[in-house]
Structure 1
């Protein structure tokens, strides 16, 4: 969290310095809105500081995260977020400038959402018997927002690239369209992975999967939040190339997933060997509710909760 404390504007930093280590350990988001009280999300619940953010706070925050050279972040501003040291992501909102229907820039930024990135080492280890059968099984993690899907993917990538006692380390290709899985800063992952990881940062998923297959010969591909028709086509190409895939999608249930045409196509084609339903219990993400096989049969009969 030290990386975040250094970029906070002075007025906000002064009030948050009173937080105990226990509070800092459970902060998920820091939302700074000009002329409004600063909002802190702690274990899924909103808390508001007495301090009201000013225009100067916004300028100060932008200067810090851009190292006083905002023009170097032109591409990141188009996407609406900036990844900072530690893999934390700062979302932005304000006046959007468009050109021929495309976002050119964001000006007069008045809202900042600092999303705290935490790597939960080992969160996926107890599920290896469900996800590995002489090979890594093609797996789709699904659940509502903030249920730990990306956190689970991150740890799976680490496990696969480092290997386990009876599982050899494999080459892992990560297509990190939102710079969230690896949290790259200038192309360098900010999270802990094994040595056999290759990352395409800020690259559209479909194009990125094809690029990695052609250029990096991965054994396993990892991508977050599939859903477009192009994603479906790329996944078919990966499977047919002999590459295993681990991906995520938003959805409350299997029935919910089947309502999405692109995912319905993948399910009907038996692309995935495993479907893992995640939830958030006791305000902690990363809880495995159910695991289904490729035919939709539930194979996890007793609920277990991953360690956090």
Structure 2
């Protein structure tokens, strides 16, 4: 579980005092949004709140603390160990990885290279701190449906934003890697494009993704899947947020090598996911043998349904 101290460590020492009460919500805190000269916003249990100057959590805009640009700059400098130049490559990807598996998204003035690629982001004025939540056992209710005679089935997690898909993905990976009552432990490869699954910081996974798991951090999914097949011989490959035809093409090559796939996609239902342009390449092939559909009810994430490859309902209920 994410602790109060985990959240406080995100901030420099001189800022921690007024973040202590917000950090008290660590287990329910999802995002901290900081924008220069704008109110300080928090997302707690999927609902939006503000922080006032005393550190109290409030619900009215007029009570909110306004984020000073100088304080924003101090936070970024602290996160970069007071050397933004050393973190230029990471900044160019739009985020910084934080200890504990958390992530700091960045927005500001983009600096382009001669080839019109993003080289850097300067004058950063917006920060989105996404709080990672490792929940061991999150996959317990769905795991029985993901195996057949000890073999892990190709599985797609379908979820709207903020419904815990990465948390569920991470725990499935951990249990597939370590072994569980339904199948022995196998080698798992993760292509962690945005450092959200393993939450790697300086090359070390901050989250437990299993003892037989190999991680490719900050690597594009399509290239990473093929690299893992060539170099690490995984039995299962896990990726977060399929989003392009290249991802689908690479995934099909992985399957042709006899490796199983565990993936996620942003959508509200299996039908909506199938309508995505890049997903139409799979139409009629029934690549995925299991679909896990997530939803949020009354502020809590739930498994709306586990479906088979014919999209028949196998199960559903709270995570």
Question: What range is the shorter-chain TM-score in?
Answer: over 0.9
How far the C-alpha of 1:122 sits from its partner, in A, is 0.4
1:59-83 deviation digits (Å, cap 9, x = unpaired)? 2111211111211211111110011
Q: Which residue does 1:195 correspond to in 2?
A: 211
Moved more, 46-55 or 232-241: 46-55
Moved more, 276-285 or 222-231: 276-285
How far the C-alpha of 1:166 sits from its partner, in A, is 5.1
Q: 1:169 to 1:271 in 2, by over 3 A?
A: same
Aligned-partner SS, 1:114: strand
Q: 1:20 to 1:254 in 2, by over 3 A?
A: closer
Q: Which residue does 2:172 correspond to in 1?
A: 156
1:118-142 deviation digits (Å, cap 9, x = unpaired)? 1010010121221011200000001
Q: Is the 8 A contact 2:8 2:23 kept in 1?
A: no
User: In 2, distance between residues paired with 1:146 and 1:248?
Assistant: 13
Aligned-partner SS, 1:126: coil
Q: Is the 8 A contact 2:163 2:296 kept in 1?
A: yes
Aligned-partner SS, 1:3: helix
User: In 1, distance between residues paired with 2:27 and 2:172?
Assistant: 23
User: In 1, distance between residues paired with 2:226 and 2:186?
Assistant: 18
Work out whether 1:290 is the aligned partner of 2:305: yes
How far the C-alpha of 1:261 sits from its partner, in A, is 2.5
Q: Which residue does 2:318 correspond to in 1?
A: 305
Q: What value does the CA root-mean-square deviation take over the aligned residues?
A: 1.6
Q: Among residues 242, 257, 275, which one is paired with 1:226 in the alignment?
A: 242
Structure 1 gaps of 5+ residues are none
Q: Among residues 4, 7, 19, which one is paired with 2:10 in the alignment?
A: 7
Q: Among residues 276, 289, 313, which one is paired with 1:273 in the alignment?
A: 289
Moved more, 179-188 or 8-17: 8-17
Structure 2 gaps of 5+ residues are 53-64
How far the C-alpha of 1:14 sits from its partner, in A, is 2.6
1:210-240 deviation digits (Å, cap 9, x = unpaired)? 0000000001000011121111111111111
Q: 1:36 to 1:106 in 2, by over 3 A?
A: same
Q: Among residues 110, 128, 153, which one is paired with 2:143 in the alignment?
A: 128
How far the C-alpha of 1:11 sits from its partner, in A, is 7.0
Q: Among residues 117, 123, 129, which one is paired with 1:102 in the alignment?
A: 117
Q: Which residue does 1:27 correspond to in 2?
A: 29
User: In 1, distance between residues paired with 2:279 and 2:243?
Assistant: 6
Work out whether 1:243 is the aligned partner of 2:259: yes
Q: Is the 8 A contact 1:209 1:221 kept in 2?
A: yes
User: In 2, distance between residues paired with 1:258 and 1:165?
Assistant: 32
Aligned-partner SS, 2:99: coil
User: In 1, distance between residues paired with 2:203 and 2:13?
Assistant: 29
Report how many aligned residue pairs link the two structures: 302
1:269-291 deviation digits (Å, cap 9, x = unpaired)? 11110111111122233x11012
Q: Among residues 64, 70, 78, which one is paired with 1:56 in the alignment?
A: 70
How far the C-alpha of 1:158 sits from its partner, in A, is 0.4
